[in-house]
Amino acid sequence: MKDPAPALDARGAAPWEAGAPGSPTAYVEGSRVHLFYSSGGTLGEAVSDLSARAFARVDADPRTPALDPVLGPSPRVDPATLAPGEKPPFDEVGVADPCVSVRETPATAKRAHVRVLYTGMATAGTTAIGFAARYGHEGPLARQPLAVYAAKGKERAPALLDLGETGYLYFTEPRSTDAREAIGAGFAPGAGSPGPLATPSAE
């Protein structure tokens, strides 16, 4: 049954948001639900109690007076400063379509590792899948400088099937045979080969 009220809308939006929030992805931390969303080429975060019905935006950097996003585009680079063959950042125009997953570090002092895949948009009009993360449940995400998946220059909207040491990355991309879009799949680690998923034990 659909809740009649929105979980998060444009009311109370930060200045960097453009229009209504979209592309939601969420995870549970104790008695709170964290929701990442995209708006205006930037990623924001909101939290709720376990009812998960009414979310409030949170500030990724309380040291500043403004409401800060968890991830924005990479700083733009002057093409004249690039070395021959060097490309500008894959996400300097915008970031969108977050997909969150959480792991716990194996160290003695266990910490939550919040990981977010996202669509990065470049000046050339290309898109690729990026990765950003943080330790703990508060604060901004730190991006990996290079895209984690970029094949045709049109990959977007990632989804992750996390199987522990291995996993599947799903994304929207144009088909090889024509321009129609389809859902592609990648397997990690790259040196391995995908096999059938294990059947859950009945024990």
- Chain segment 98-131, per-residue pLDDT in tens: 999 999 888 767 889 999 999 999 999 999 999 9
Instruction: State residue 2's pLDDT score.
Output: 78
Cα–chain-centroid distance for residue 13?
19
* Cα–Cα distance, 91 to 72 (Å, whole number): 9
The two tokens of residue 66 are 């403004």
Does the pTM exceed 0.85?
Answer: yes
Percent of the chain with pLDDT over 90: 69
* Cα–Cα distance, 170 to 11 (Å, whole number): 32
Fold entry, domain 22-76+86-151: Tachylectin-2; Chain A (2.115.10)
- Chain segment 47-89, per-residue pLDDT in tens: 999 888 899 999 999 999 999 999 999 999 988 898 998 889 9
Name the DSSP letter for residue 154.
B
Phi-psi region of 177 (alpha: psi -120 to 50; beta: other; left: phi over 0): alpha
